[in-house]
Structure 1
Amino acid sequence: MQLDFSRLSALEAYRWLASTVTPRPIAWVSSLSREGVSNLAPFSFFQVISDDPPSLMINVGSRDDGSLKDTLRNVQDTGELVIQLVSFAQAEAMNASAAHLPHGISEFSHCGIASLSSALVRPPRVAGAPVAFECRLLEVQPFPRATPNCHLIFVEVLLAHIDDAVLNEQGRIDPQRLDLVGRLGGSQYCRTRDQFSLQRPA
């Protein structure tokens, strides 16, 4: 089978890419509006891009009507956000927070998701998240530049909250205890507990 992407609609291209480039980590992003209303939303076009400075990137697509999502608006306005990683235990709550709510309605309150205060940034973090990165905005890039349909958000990690329960006896991450979910195509997800090891050649 061959796919000529020049002949595919944007929706068809998305479906093929989203179902093949898997599993994808999920950035569960909390932010604050200028008015101080908290927002929480998941994004699976997400990755670590640098360790110096420690940097992450999130792709936030535009809404069907071309308007900007609250996450992007909030981050542009305040320059701060928290990125949580999603454990299997919090998968249902993460999915609930993906609902399209009117501007000014907090997903924390609407979905009954508990929050905690952050240390260095103003947006709250998700209580019980195995990992939460407090971040500062580096830059936002519309993409593609000529006719943008999404925005790339580049952020610097300032502080990480890591649940002691996901650490092994040496104080390192234990993937079995971390038990994250990853995004597949459609409505499918996976867990990170199915693992194997390979030693990189010298």
Structure 2
Amino acid sequence: MFYKPEDGHGLPHNPFNAIVTPRPIGWISTRGAEGRDNLAPYSFFNAVAYHPPQVMFSSTNAKPDRGDTKDSIANIRETGVFCVNIVEYAMRDVMNQSSGPWGKEVDEFDHAGIDKAECTTISCPRVAAAPASLECKLTQIVQLPGAANFVAFGEVTGVHMRDDCLVDGAFDVTRFNPLTRLGYKDYSVIREVFSLTRPGE
């Protein structure tokens, strides 16, 4: 099968997300200028640079109470900071609960019963029990083609790692089983890890 996105695929559901898988989930926490906290998962998320360490996530929808975007991007526009929390399998249900189309006045930490902690280098909350959290200072927001498509890039200014995830000096993902996003309503979990040595190393 071949299709051009502009012409449609003719399938019951869009296969694009199912093709680009698995995708890490960035559970983005922010705080607006008025002090309201927000937490939402994004599956268009990844690390993009080592020195200095940088990450990105993109928001692709809008809410009536936020104009051209959603709470996360709106808050980041106001404050210039955000935190990326890594999602473990054990937190799948509360992560999903935080993904609802709640009004901007709703604190998803409270709504889903998620314990929060303050970040160290930025004024922003983080998921207290997350395996890892990356405190980020906004570098730029880029608008992509499409009315509500925005990518936020951030420089990582602080890194939290849960002590039980450190094994012999390495951050061990098998200790918490990262949750990943597939297509449709599907997710997957990482339980098996293997190593390969790159040629020349």
What's the offset of the Cα at 1:196? 2.9
Q: Please list the CA deviations of residues 155-196 of structure 1 after superposition, one character each: whole Å capped at 9, or x if unmatched.
A: 000010001111112x10112113100000111111111233
Alignment of 1:1-202 (within 5 A): 1-8=1-8, 15-63=14-62, 67-144=68-145, 147-169=146-168, 171-202=169-200
Separation in 2, partners of 1:64, 1:17:
23
Supply the distance in 1 between the matched residues of 2:46 and 2:147 (Cα, whole angstroms). 20
Using the TM superposition, give the Cα deviation of residue 197 of structure 1 relative to its aligned residue in structure 2, in angstroms. 2.8
Distance 2:135 2:107 in 1: 19
Tell me how far apart the structure 2 counterparts of residues 84 and 33 of structure 1 sit (CA, whole Å): 17
Aligned residues: 197
Q: What CA RMSD, in Å, does the superposition of the two structures yield over aligned residues?
A: 1.9
Quote the Cα distance in structure 2 between the aligned partners of 1:15 and 1:181: 22
Cα separation, 2, equivalents of 1:201 and 1:53: 25
Cα separation, 2, equivalents of 1:143 and 1:52: 25
CA distance in 1: counterparts of 2:106 and 2:173, whole angstroms: 34
Shift of 1:5: 2.2
Measured in 2, the distance between the counterparts of 1:76 and 1:90 equals 28
TM-score by length of 1: 0.91
CA distance in 2, matches of 1:201, 1:120: 38
TM-aligned CA deviation for residue 119 of structure 1: 0.7
Amino acid at match of 2:184: G
Partner amino acid, structure 2, of 1:173: F
Relative to structure 1, the CA distance from residue 102 to residue 126 in structure 2 (aligned partners, 3 Å threshold; closer, same or farther) is same
Aligned equivalents of 1:173, 1:131: Cα separation in 2: 9
Mind listing any 5+ residue stretches in structure 1 that lack a counterpart? none
SS at match of 2:138: strand
**Conserved 8 A contact 2:63-2:70:** no
Structure 2 runs not aligned, ≥5 long: none
Tell me how far 1:62 sits from its aligned partner: 2.4
Kept in 1: contact 2:68–2:148 (CA 8 A): no
